[in-house]
Structure 1
Amino acid sequence: MAKVGRIKLGSQGLEVSAQGLGCMGMSAFYGPPKPEPDMIALIHHAIDSGVTFLDTSDVYGPHTNEILLGKALKDGVRDKVELATKFGIVVSGEKREIRGDPEYVRAACEGSLKRLGVDFIDLYYQHRVDTRVPIEVTIGELKKLVEEGKIKYIGLSEASASTIRRAHAVHPITAVQLEWSLWARDVEEEIIPTCRELGIGIVAYSPLGRGFFSSGPKLVQSFAEGDFRKYLPRFQPENLEHNKTIFDKVNEMAARKGCTTSQLALAWVHHQGNDVCPIPGTTKIGNFNQNIEALSIKLTPEEMAELESYAAADAVKGDRYDAAIATWKDSETPPLSSWKAV
């Protein structure tokens, strides 16, 4: 099995495994929750394999994914991992709200600490940016939580370049989590360069295109009841037929390289730099083992360029999300001068 090295994430001192484990699909959004004993066994297997950077959020379930991780981290396991969770998306029935007000930030952190059964969170992200609250106000409260020892490092997810700059001016941001894969490359224009200029680590979620680069178009046939990917624009029939050609070309190249399509797609993300940590999710030990083999695949600059030519921005049909889900494109917050604390 490939050796999983360590990387420095950001410039504040956090060190993580070169590949992380996204835990969302174990409990939420990708169909029914998976059997708890199997998922705990998978988490322990990941840690034993050197993948110690675990990613969750209070909205996964909601709450059930953090509870699952809490059970997996009992009995001496906590000290072996870098634990990342997120706050900011509040789900109540069909209603979804984004919150970044100080009172909520603190309450969310206390809730996560309790569910995870830990004294502190290594990396605490704002999952989505509350456009009603100046980012300085949200980060100000997170800074207090750092000072109190409840969190070690601060992160943002799906934040624009200007939001990242404003946040970083209040307290150093350690990592920005964003969707980055062969078919999600809009972040390369402004957000990645901003992170690099400020010394902020990059955590790439959905590096396999939500499973598209594992199975290709036939993936949609295996979506279970309650799998939200069914509703994503890229997986709609009119777009999928077109996107199939991207998968076919990557698949062809993988065959030449003697690896799987998913390993090649993941290796592409790893080759973006040693400040990038992809966090592919899985619920199967076999897939996990395959994913870490991507670390041993070497790509030449010519091969990187060839892969990128298959999935240029205009080659992909359909947006990443439907219009109801916020991304960095709508993450600007009001100026600090507008804030009147209630």
Structure 2
Amino acid sequence: MNRRNLLKTAGLAMAGSALLPFSSSAQTLNLESKPFGNDNAPQPLSGKRKLGRTLEVSSIGLGVQNMSRTYQTTIPSRPEMHNIIRTAFDNGVTFFDAAEAYGPLEVEKILGEGLAPIRDKVVVATKFGFNIGEDGKRVPGGLNSQPEHIKKVVESMLKRLRTDRIDLLYQHRVDPQVPIEDVVGAIKDLIKEGKVLNYGLSEPGEQTVRRAHKEHPVAAIQNEYSLLWRGPEKTILPLCEELGIGFVPWSPLGVGFLTASIDENTHFAQGDFRGSETRFSSENIAKNMPLVHLLKKWSVQKETTPAQISLAWLLAQKPWIAPIPGTTQMNHMKENIGASNLKFSSNELLKFTNELNTIQITGDRLPAGVQAMSGVEAPLKK
């Protein structure tokens, strides 16, 4: 299905959205080239990125969050999800992102099954931090980053992922009840045992990052970041540059908005997660459409797609940024990784960004309850 023809009324299931982490997402441009578009054969992914000191990943990864249940609440074909995962690898993707909260638990199983034949050739990232029972049901109490819980969770993750180590383990959200020193202490034990190779933080507070990095180098921070939400530019990206930490944008395509599949005529189905975000209210979508118009203009000029323009812009920001667009569609996956072949000259990047800076996005990126879990500082260790 072409994104441009995507049903405007398709629902976004709360269970599948990366916005709710708990389930019930100075190069030179050859102006004569034609990056992958609707009528072009897909190009293999180009380039590698380094996260932290040693972790090397493909410049664009694959988020597999919705492979157990899509935004439209349908259950994807499991064999086809495996096929997408392996085809992504065949086209150069070596970075795959999951979490215990996705499914819950089921997405890690799908990823483990899909990567089984190629496990030693890829980087597997996943996340802990929520209180989830072995049956996949949420345990009262919300977050849980107690050291013993982390170790127990990792043992289960290894089984679901069919592996003996996790290449990159994130704390999904900072636990306001547990000092980050205790969290990192547990992770250091797992690193010594060879069960975890690198660790990161998702949506953390700045001081928590500094404290964690002091205990053991942080490889990556994963936050929402896209043309639709540029919040990390204020403090997190400068912090990553200062400390030598990689950055992994989640929802780099703005849950579909940056693919031009949403406009003023979109009506979200009941239960569609975007319906609970004020940036996607009917009034605010109309106000935010200039961003889509900008992407369409540039995609026509460059004979590419809005999605590829969006991802290429992210890649152009810093050499240690590696976005992880998610999809359950083979053609979308190929389109996304094709963005690695689209480069901006310094003049083009300046021109695009100047135009972008004139556009003001209206509305909040997350519901208040979910937003409250971002930017949290861990308590001080007594």
The answer to whether the Cα contact below 8 Å between 2:263 and 2:285 also exists between their aligned partners in 1 is no
Which residue is 1:17 aligned to? 58
The answer to whether the Cα contact below 8 Å between 2:45 and 2:60 also exists between their aligned partners in 1 is no
The answer to whether the Cα contact below 8 Å between 2:108 and 2:160 also exists between their aligned partners in 1 is yes
Which residue is 1:340 aligned to? none
TM-superposed CA distance for 1:227, in Å, is 4.2
TM-superposed CA distance for 1:234, in Å, is 1.7
TM-score normalised per structure 1: 0.92
TM-superposed CA distance for 1:96, in Å, is 6.9
CA shift in 2, pair 1:295/1:53, >3 Å: same
CA shift in 2, pair 1:100/1:312, >3 Å: farther
Residue 85 (1) aligns with residue 130 (2): no
What per-residue deviation string (whole Å, max 9, x for no partner) do you get for residues 249-300 of structure 1?
2211221121111110110001012111011111111111111221111212
Q: Secondary structure at the match of 1:317?
A: coil
CA shift in 2, pair 1:129/1:226, >3 Å: same
The answer to whether the Cα contact below 8 Å between 2:264 and 2:285 also exists between their aligned partners in 1 is no
Q: Secondary structure at the match of 1:287?
A: helix
Which structure: greater helix fraction? Answer: 1
Q: Using the alignment, how far apart are the partners of 1:126 and 1:242 within structure 2? A: 35
TM-score normalised per structure 2: 0.82
The answer to whether the Cα contact below 8 Å between 2:290 and 2:359 also exists between their aligned partners in 1 is no
Question: Structure 1 residue aligned with 2:112, among 70, 74, 79?
Answer: 70
Question: Structure 2 residue aligned with 1:282, among 302, 327, 333?
Answer: 327
Please show how residues 31-46 of structure 1 align to structure 2 within 5 Å.
31-46=73-88
Which amino acid letter does the alignment assign opposite residue 101 of structure 2?
V
Question: Structure 2 residue aligned with 1:264, among 304, 309, 315?
Answer: 309
The alignment of Structure 1 onto Structure 2 pairs a total of residues equal to: 335
Residue 55 (1) aligns with residue 97 (2): yes
Which residue is 1:333 aligned to? 378
Q: Using the alignment, how far apart are the partners of 2:352 and 2:233 within structure 1? A: 15
Q: Using the alignment, how far apart are the partners of 1:274 and 1:222 within structure 2? A: 38
TM-superposed CA distance for 1:4, in Å, is 2.6
CA RMSD of aligned residues (A): 2.2
Q: More displaced, 278-287 or 215-224?
A: 215-224
Question: Structure 2 residue aligned with 1:26, among 54, 64, 67?
Answer: 67
TM-superposed CA distance for 1:226, in Å, is 5.1
TM-superposed CA distance for 1:309, in Å, is 3.7
Uncovered stretches (5+) of structure 2, i.e. residues with no partner: 1-42
Which residue is 1:212 aligned to? 257
Q: Using the alignment, how far apart are the partners of 1:165 and 1:316 within structure 2? A: 30
Which residue is 1:247 aligned to? 292
Q: Using the alignment, how far apart are the partners of 1:224 and 1:72 within structure 2? A: 31
Uncovered stretches (5+) of structure 1, i.e. residues with no partner: 338-342
Question: Structure 2 residue aligned with 1:156, among 189, 193, 201?
Answer: 201
CA shift in 2, pair 1:96/1:311, >3 Å: farther
The answer to whether the Cα contact below 8 Å between 1:32 and 1:225 also exists between their aligned partners in 2 is no
The answer to whether the Cα contact below 8 Å between 1:220 and 1:235 also exists between their aligned partners in 2 is no
What per-residue deviation string (whole Å, max 9, x for no partner) do you get for residues 284-330 of structure 1?
11111111221111212333233334444970111111111146754
Residue 321 (1) aligns with residue 363 (2): no
Percent of counterpart pairs with the same letter?
40
What per-residue deviation string (whole Å, max 9, x for no partner) do you get for residues 146-178 of structure 1?
111110001111012211101001111111111
TM-superposed CA distance for 1:89, in Å, is 2.2
Which amino acid letter does the alignment assign opposite residue 63 of structure 1?
L
